[in-house]
Amino acid sequence: MSDLVDITDAEFERIQSTVYHRFGIDLSKKRTLIRGRLNGTLRKLGYRSFGDYLEAVDTDETGARLTEMIDILSTNHTFFFREADHLDYLVTAALPAIYGGAVDLSETRVWCAGCSTGEEPYSILIALADAFGMKALPAHPLILASDISTRVLATAKAGVYPVSRTREAGDIVKRGYARQLDSERIEMSQEMRRRLLFRRINLMDAEFPFRHQFNVIFCRNVMIYFDVPTRVRLVAAFRRHLRIGGFLFLGHSESMGRNVAGFQYLQPAVYRRTE
């Protein structure tokens, strides 16, 4: 017999509704995932039912319990240089198009939205360093990396990863981007870490806390958890925060088709703001 606490229809609806309306994530078909992932939390905190746990989440005025819940329910699986063709397009086509020739990274602003545990923003940074050289990278952070989960952001800030996740990036230790901790782990160098700025941002917020627009926005393998109206609303928000002529990269499984208001379709999952 399973020792997992069962979840009622009402409790499931309450959780998935909260997650959808607060964070835009559609878990309406993820009952097994919700039950499985949250059972460990129930046991750890000593709750005998999901109802008791949800009461604690709702009455926690600090928001810590809700943050913990979304941390647990967020799916985070990634690795370095995932969908690497986008990184190649960034350095060989997108940035040269933005600058009309010589690329000036000191003026470049990149937002990596939904950065998970940090493999994607570090991959972008490595691609820039490989293409233009470390000396071309400004000393200040040129990539804003955001996520809703405080847990994954803590991992990203630490910059420590299993070697198995870095294989697609080649020997980043030999190239000076990381140091070997042991046979199974590497740590991103201080030079790389200080060029990233990590922030907790909820993509469902009505407004984002930005004073300036970005040249490039990456939001890959995030919108697969959103329904179509949420995706459309989010792409419209990205357009507002992207400079005219700037580039938007989505995940290959998330392409919005060829007709997206204010954008030119360039290739699957790559768009350029036109107006």
Residues classed as catalytic? 37, 147
Report the DSSP pairing between strands 242-250 and 263-267: unpaired
Element (H, E) at 123: helix 119-132
- Give a three-class secondary structure readout of 192-229: HHCCEEEEECCCCCCCCCCCCCEEEEEECCCHHHCCHH
| Integer-rounded Cα radius of gyration of the chain | 20
The span from the CA of 239 to the CA of 275, in Å, is 9
Q: Enter the tokens of residue 262.
A: 């204010």
Instruction: State the Cα–Cα distance between residues 183 and 257, nearest whole angstrom.
Output: 43
For residue 26, how far is the Cα from the chain centroid? 16
